[in-house]
Structure 1
């Protein structure tokens, strides 16, 4: 029976009305492909796909070359560790750079550096100069480029797509990597088997060109800076402080370390799994890695649906458990047909878990610190991967690959149990835009941005019956103040006027006071409004801003004019 000829125009009119109001139909809003509507995200995504493909082909070449030039199995596992260790070591400084400088330029610098290192790696292999430690050195340098690139790239996602689309964009980034992983390793294995590792290294060098070209042509909107940039050390400290005072991000970081430690086992030991457990060569190694990548692609597309069905914590516990089962099956299997689906399950769990962690961090941090928050998350995840790669390599050396995989399965189950103490928050987009209520006050004393310390007091008048609720609200206010840069926060009660409470804190300089005040977000407004609703005095309350000054001993007999001048 034909459709009603009037139905389609009515649907079009309804869709147009929703679009005019800024409302997308639910089916389109929930589509995992929504971020690809943004031209710059689409271009970077496609170029990253090519770059990921080259990187995975290079990884196959490096891993298999290590099995040929090294006698110890723990050296094979160190190929993976050498790539992930720099992310643990340098991500925080890279995140501070990403939050304070042009992210596009940082990405261009990182991609150019990795291109140069890849060319040198190919040349060394071509000239037969490669040794195990030289190979680890090259992979370490490529990992350094990745450490510089990742915080800038991850935090740029929020500049390319609307905030509500960040989880889908993070998942699509995982899809790009795992599409490359599903075919790249198999092709890499074929290249290594047919031509040799040098060809894999050359292909990787060429894979950077597309992404460098796209980034060079991208012109993101420039953000005008009102305040001077933080120095690197101060910016790093601010990032650590923000994360330390943010319970949601702390939980993600702990769980990410646990997952990276146990979940890396399949990737770290995959050359040994291919060679010793299923008795294969470089082509089989590539096929196994491709199975992991194919499972990851499937997991990426399932993740959006599963997030709607399960809470964030339930989803992550399930992936920990399923990955543990997959690791145990891989350890017990001696046939390719059991190892392949187990690796696919491990790949699906890998992408669902890490993309959930990544999106949770991005939605829990405002733009001014998102690069550093992501960097600390990646340090934890990659630190777990680097430590796990070494531990599982040592376990293979002492017990064999089967037992190492079973031990990793137990570690993953332990990571799932952490959820009873460190639960993950719901994956929702908080409004972390600046509150923009605060205005820099005019002062009667001449001060410079570096003048300080600055002491701030705020007078609250609270009825006796509201004291308990006031103290609860002020506990959260203390966390927010300290998270954003306030020092020595205290709450004082006047002994002669019990209704008078004084909130006191300080900052090192005037510019740091301004910076701290401007970091208050829309999501923080609830606490401010709660406290103000309990305040029975003038609105806004009385605020005193003072600068600390040292006393001086003046010579006796100094005329009054000279005392004033002094």
Structure 2
């Protein structure tokens, strides 16, 4: 079972939020570990990840020995990834709306129980290949509910300049576990039983539950009317839709995970069927991959500044072209070991680039939801890819399936042209807090609406092209932050009078817009305002749907008019 948290699992100990100040002028790979809270999380995550990777080996190897179907073996990856596809988005919404500590206590306890039952049934000899798939799916559900919450925790614990290194270190935690866990798991399988591995994994979840129970996190203060689940879900999806930097990353993420899934899904088949080797060799293969990822972290710590995120993803994708070809063509496991080491370097390079780009482009109010969408896309690629490459291996040959995956990875490199990944380190996504509350005659219920906001400018004719270009960016921000419609209109009698409008579903949603507008967004708003030539600032009007009337009149059909007296 590949329990992939993208860059590792976060474990949150006692203490609270990110430091308000940061004295280091240039952070390094070790900077996040100087913060006690992050350091404790990293250690706890490492212990839990070792247990997880032990179970990865035990689960996949046990299924490999219980069935002759490559498709069933490949479905182990799907059983892990599919829950994330189904649950990561609802989990992200809940993580932004509900107390995260309570959610984590529930999900950790759930995984303790599932891993324990699986271990007991295995020790009693009452488990089948399909049964392992079922429990893998249930454990994947727990991981899917956990993952968006873990991903958001790191931004609370380290300052923004150190965030890329913190994400890298969380990847190191997962990959140190990948280097240790498979080898330990392989030894336990060889000398005892996979059931003991499952039980040990359950104990690791129990330890994490204790850490979360001791966590005393600062309560989040509400800054506006509370969101409901459906509204929050729509807000998260809308944010991604109108953020080109984000959906570009998502396209690249799906293409990469679809191609790389062939390695995760079929490496055990290569070892067991093609090379006729034991579980120990399978564990050693994964250990080489984990060791490569750890080495990749140190490599990026020294030379990472020379490559931007876009270049790292390109190099990593090309490396996995070679990985899939090597698995398809090499006949000696000793040649595959260094290939897997290089794959580990590429894996960490790509995954930290994706994850860091997403987190640097997202403000806190929607962070868990956007991360959950990112994880959904990633796991969708793994799930669909595992199914496709496994089915292709069953219908044709293992070699042809892996060569096909290599071809896909090569073609995916071309996506860098229409969807480049741009730097976001210098973005200021703190709330701007500069919009004054509108003057109202009496209190307005947050559920009243819809609301139309109009901002009137005076713009000279020579400035219209530049003004139009600036307002296009501002319109995108209005739609991203909650508007259902937005646009710009000119007065037909006085074309220099130009009005920007945006239409919001409720008064409460417009109040939330005030909190969502960031300091980075202010630069775009200022660019629009600089074209205003009036002696007074642009005039803002708020219009609320007249009470107890329909928002849009419906014309009466002509036949009904003729029948009226």
Same fold at TM > 0.5: yes
Deviations, residues 412-447 of structure 1 (Å, cap 9, x unaligned): 111111111111112524110000101222300442
What residue in structure 2 maps to residue 246 of structure 1?
A: 243
Tell me if structure 2 keeps the 8 A contact 1:312–1:427.
no
Q: Does 1:518 align with 2:507?
A: no
- Among 414, 418, 425, the alignment partner of 1:417 is 414
Deviation at 1:23, TM superposition (A): 6.8
What residue in structure 2 maps to residue 388 of structure 1?
A: 385
Aligned with 1:524: secondary structure?
A: helix
Distance 1:479 1:304 in 2: 36
Tell me if structure 2 keeps the 8 A contact 1:263–1:350.
no
Q: Does 1:89 align with 2:89?
A: no
Distance 2:549 2:171 in 1: 62
Tell me if structure 1 keeps the 8 A contact 2:258–2:385.
yes
- Among 261, 266, 276, the alignment partner of 2:263 is 266
Distance 1:302 1:70 in 2: 40
Tell me if structure 2 keeps the 8 A contact 1:107–1:153.
no
Deviation at 1:259, TM superposition (A): 0.8
Distance 1:506 1:104 in 2: 36
What residue in structure 2 maps to residue 223 of structure 1?
A: 220
Q: Does 1:255 align with 2:252?
A: yes
- Superposition map of 1:467-482 within 5 A: 467-482=464-479
What residue in structure 2 maps to residue 310 of structure 1?
A: 307
What residue in structure 2 maps to residue 297 of structure 1?
A: 294
Deviation at 1:326, TM superposition (A): 1.9
Query: What do you get for the CA RMSD once the two structures are aligned?
Result: 1.7
Relative to structure 1, the CA distance from residue 85 to residue 429 in structure 2 (aligned partners, 3 Å threshold; closer, same or farther) is farther
- Among 397, 408, 411, the alignment partner of 1:400 is 397
- Among 323, 331, 334, the alignment partner of 1:334 is 331
Q: TM-score, normalised by structure 1?
A: 0.91
Relative to structure 1, the CA distance from residue 445 to residue 329 in structure 2 (aligned partners, 3 Å threshold; closer, same or farther) is same
What residue in structure 2 maps to residue 146 of structure 1?
A: 143
Tell me if structure 2 keeps the 8 A contact 1:455–1:547.
yes
Relative to structure 1, the CA distance from residue 37 to residue 210 in structure 2 (aligned partners, 3 Å threshold; closer, same or farther) is farther
What residue in structure 2 maps to residue 560 of structure 1?
A: none
What residue in structure 1 maps to residue 352 of structure 2?
A: 355
Distance 2:456 2:139 in 1: 55
Aligned with 1:534: secondary structure?
A: coil
Deviation at 1:170, TM superposition (A): 0.7
Tell me if structure 2 keeps the 8 A contact 1:435–1:525.
yes
Tell me if structure 2 keeps the 8 A contact 1:94–1:147.
yes
Q: Does 1:506 align with 2:506?
A: no
Count how many residue pairs are aligned between Structure 1 and Structure 2.
Answer: 531
Deviations, residues 222-259 of structure 1 (Å, cap 9, x unaligned): 22113233111111111110001100110111111111
Tell me if structure 2 keeps the 8 A contact 1:294–1:347.
yes
Relative to structure 1, the CA distance from residue 306 to residue 105 in structure 2 (aligned partners, 3 Å threshold; closer, same or farther) is farther
Tell me if structure 2 keeps the 8 A contact 1:306–1:315.
no
Distance 1:455 1:407 in 2: 53
Tell me if structure 2 keeps the 8 A contact 1:41–1:160.
yes
- Superposition map of 1:48-87 within 5 A: 48-87=45-84
Distance 2:480 2:320 in 1: 35
Larger radius of gyration: 1
What residue in structure 1 maps to residue 40 of structure 2?
A: 43
Tell me if structure 2 keeps the 8 A contact 1:44–1:211.
no
What residue in structure 1 maps to residue 369 of structure 2?
A: 372
Unaligned regions of 5+ residues in structure 2, if any?
Answer: 1-19, 551-565
